[in-house]
Amino acid sequence: MQLFHQRAGQGSGVDLSTMASAPATLQCVRGAGRGSHALLPAGPMSLWFCLKGTLEIDGSDGPFRLQQRMFLPLSGAAQVRGVGRECADWVVLAIPPSVLGRLARDRDLRRRPDPLLFPTPLPITRPLLRALVALLRQAGERNQATIDILLESLVQAAQQAQAPTQAWIERACGRSESHRRQVVLRLLSPRNRILNEPFGVHDLDTLAAAARYSKSHFLRMFRDVFGSTPHDLLIGARMELAKQLIANSDLAIAEVAASVGYESRYAFSRLFKKRVGVTASDYRQDAPAPLPRAA
């Protein structure tokens, strides 16, 4: 197996949709600058790492906005496109199913229940960063044994970095860990949709369908696993986005309200004060001035 490495600079990109012709090749794209992008086909599992700036990843559950020193695994169920925003420095690894299958058969990963990794953004730990750097140093090499060992180390480091998800697994219903992990995986789809697009319309029917549960079963399990209802999560996500817009933009309060999904400025203002503790106008007045952008 070879680690095939490509670069995407500012405004340029890499299309990996032809990687089906090289099913045993581990693909890597290193992107830098605004507009750098990569397109991955459905099939390979992908590991996205945002080292600096912001990386927007458009998948089946909406656009993830990956911030500096965060990583995101995606299963490969759908085509994925990542785009670097201002000052972005990022890496994506596309791992074909045949490579994952070989690792699962031959190494310690075979004892790990599915899914190996959950599709949720989390901080890049130091062990994970070291494992990534060690693997990238093998770019262009054909030493399968070495690459397999380093890739396994990377996946294991990513699993350890996902330790915060263990609390979700323990709260999920199911007799086995494998069953509980599948419950969490199904619930993450509607959770990601809410967090990725808090300004959107997220009715109970659509969210329950995304998790493939009945509405009553979905509500109960979502609250048990994540500690809040979908509605509470949506309101919290909207308020966080509103705080960013109020502090870092010149939008009027009514425009901020509309941007996060509220037609009525007054309803938004009442809810903002209830959640944040101050009015939107006072929050803007007390917020620190944004830093000037580099030329």
Tell me what pLDDT residue 27 has.
Answer: 92
pTM here is: 0.89
pLDDT tens-digit profile of 104-127?
766 566 666 788 899 999 999 999
Fold for the domain defined by 3-161: Jelly Rolls (2.60.120)
In degrees, rounded to 5, the angle at the alpha carbon of residue 231 between the alpha carbons of residues 230 and 234 is 85
- The conformation of residue 160, written as its DSSP 8-state character, comes to H
Single out the residue of 104, 76, 87, 98 nearest to residue 17, CA to CA: 76
pLDDT score recorded for residue 25: 81
Range with top average pLDDT, 63-72, 107-116, 243-252: 63-72
- The better pLDDT of the pair 227, 17 is held by 227
Say how far apart CA 274 and CA 18 lie, in whole Å: 51
The whole-number average pLDDT for the span 129-143 is 88
Answer whether 3-161 and 233-286 agree in fold: no
Check residue 294 and give its pLDDT: 41
Cβ-proximal residues to 92 (8 Å cutoff; 6+ apart), any chain = 28, 29, 31, 38, 40, 46, 47, 48, 49, 82
The architecture CATH gives domain 233-286: Orthogonal Bundle (1.10)
What is the pLDDT, as a whole number, of residue 289? Answer: 59
Which of the pair, 219 or 19, is modelled with greater confidence? 219
Q: Residue 148 — very low, low, confident or very high, per pLDDT cuts 50/70/90?
A: confident
Per-residue confidence (pLDDT) for residue 1, from 0 to 100: 67
Tell me the pLDDT tens digit for each residue of 270-292: 999 999 999 999 999 887 655 44
Residue 56 half-sphere exposure, CB side, CA atoms within 13 Å? 14
Average pLDDT, the chain: 90
- Residue that wins the pLDDT comparison between 11 and 23: 11
Model confidence pLDDT, tens digit, residues 149-165? 999 999 999 999 999 99
* Domain positions in the chain: 3-161, 166-227, 233-286
